[in-house]
């Protein structure tokens, strides 16, 4: 089982130990989390007992109950809340763009990532995996419940919800095994019966969002399912500011269709304007609907996205 070394550098993990997800959503669950309800006052209201399970904080064991029954019981309190965190990873073919060697784990492609630190940028998928691993790790570290799934135009793989820091290796192993699959279609995924979470929670979407249509509808489905949605748009630097020039044949990685183009200054300017429109529309829709939006470019060090961009957006604290 993966320790996470293939995704996140131990030095980064140590820094993530000090952070947690700052969610607006508060769930009154049957489990304990490390977040407090805003509506029940400062005192802890005892609710019930349950048996200790791996991942629980051993400091919450009730030794009096153990002495009476010989079984390890933990106290539950009504104003201690767990957050239901859902991590969705786009594995459609377009996510394979970027990086000298896609989907590789090598000493030359360390888990910290980003060309600003002097290493080759990762593919969008590998970069998104690392961001997803970091978010899941921080949630598990706060005893929130974390589930994960990979998707294209359907759900490709799914990981049942985990709790506690002990679940991190399983999350890392799941993410490492996620592979490029086919054509992306978020609406087809989230418009399908059984795909949406049944309880209120927080959904993180890691994708390039390069879909023909349906993004707004897909996000609206998640909002209707009482999700606090975070859109993390992962793009390669070459997509943001292309360095190509001359006559080329560009091939769509998902449809296989190609088109010959002459990349003149005029064409590159038109591309830049279209790109700004593409990201601007998504950002504006998210703002209008109360969805958090973060742009992550694969040549940015992970620390910059996690410790600066996400904290600046109020998503980590």
Helical axes 215-224 vs 265-289, angle rounded to 10°: 20
Alpha-carbon span 16 to 142, nearest angstrom: 11
Q: Is the pLDDT of residue 9 over 80?
A: yes
- Predicted confidence (pLDDT) at residue 247 exceeds the cutoff of 70: no
- Per-residue pLDDT at 272 exceeds 50: yes
Q: Which residues of 210-225 are buried (b: 16+ CB within 10 A; e: fewer)?
A: bbeebbbebbbbbeeb
| Residues 309-316, mean pLDDT to the nearest whole number | 92
Contacts (Cβ under 8 Å, ≥6 apart) of 201: 25, 27, 83, 84, 85, 86, 226, 227, 228
The yes-or-no verdict on residue 112 having pLDDT over 50 is: no
pTM beyond 0.85: the answer is no
Tens digit of each residue's pLDDT (9 = 90 or more) over 151-185: 999 999 999 999 999 999 999 999 999 999 989 99
So what CATH class is 10-24+83-98+119-313?
Answer: alpha beta
Is residue 237 within 8 Å of 121, Cβ to Cβ? yes
Query: Cα(270)–Cα(311) distance, rounded to whole angstroms?
Result: 33
Question: What is the distance between the alpha carbons of residues 97 and 91, in angstroms, rounded to a whole number?
Answer: 11
Segment among 93-97, 117-121, 230-234, 293-297 with least mean pLDDT: 117-121
β-strand pairing of 155-163 with 246-251: unpaired
Q: Please, which residues have CB within 8 angstroms of residue 180's CB and are 6 or more apart in sequence?
A: 91, 92, 93, 95, 96, 102, 103, 125
Handedness of CA 112, 116, 118, 121 (dihedral sign): positive
Select from 167, 168, 165, 172 the least CA-distant residue to 57: 165
| Residue-range domain boundaries for the chain | 10-24+83-98+119-313, 46-79
């Amino acid at each position: 089982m993966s320790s996470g070394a293939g995704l996140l550098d131990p030095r980064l993990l140590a820094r993530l130990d000090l952070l947690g997800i700052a969610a607006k959503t508060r769930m009154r669950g049957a489990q304990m989390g490390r977040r407090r309800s805003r509506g029940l006052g400062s005192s802890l209201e005892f609710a019930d007992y349950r048996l200790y399970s791996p991942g629980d904080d051993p400091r919450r064991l009730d030794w009096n109950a153990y002495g009476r029954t010989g079984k390890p019981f933990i106290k539950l309190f009504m104003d201690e809340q767990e957050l239901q965190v859902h991590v969705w990873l786009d594995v459609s073919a377009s996510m394979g763009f970027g990086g000298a060697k896609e989907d590789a784990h090598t000493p030359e492609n360390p888990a910290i990532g980003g060309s600003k630190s002097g290493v080759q940028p990762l593919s969008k998928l590998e970069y998104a995996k690392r961001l997803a691993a970091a978010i899941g790790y921080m949630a598990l570290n706060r005893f929130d419940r974390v589930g994960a799934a990979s998707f294209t135009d359907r759900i490709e793989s799914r990981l049942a919800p985990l709790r506690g820091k002990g679940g991190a290796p399983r999350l890392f192993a799941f993410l490492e095994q996620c592979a490029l699959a086919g054509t992306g279609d978020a609406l087809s995924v989230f418009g399908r019966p059984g795909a949406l979470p049944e309880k209120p929670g927080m959904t993180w979407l890691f994708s390039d969002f390069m879909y023909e249509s349906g993004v707004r509808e897909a996000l609206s489905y998640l909002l209707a399912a009482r999700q606090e949605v975070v859109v993390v748009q992962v793009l390669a630097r070459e997509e943001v500011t292309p360095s190509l020039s001359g006559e080329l044949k560009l091939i769509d990685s998902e449809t296989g269709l190609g088109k010959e183009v002459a990349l003149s200054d005029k064409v590159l300017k038109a591309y830049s304007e279209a790109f700004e429109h593409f990201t601007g529309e998504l950002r504006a829709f998210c703002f209008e609907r109360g969805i958090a939006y973060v742009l992550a470019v694969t040549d940015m060090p992970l620390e910059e996205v996690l410790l600066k961009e996400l904290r600046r957006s109020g998503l980590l604290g």
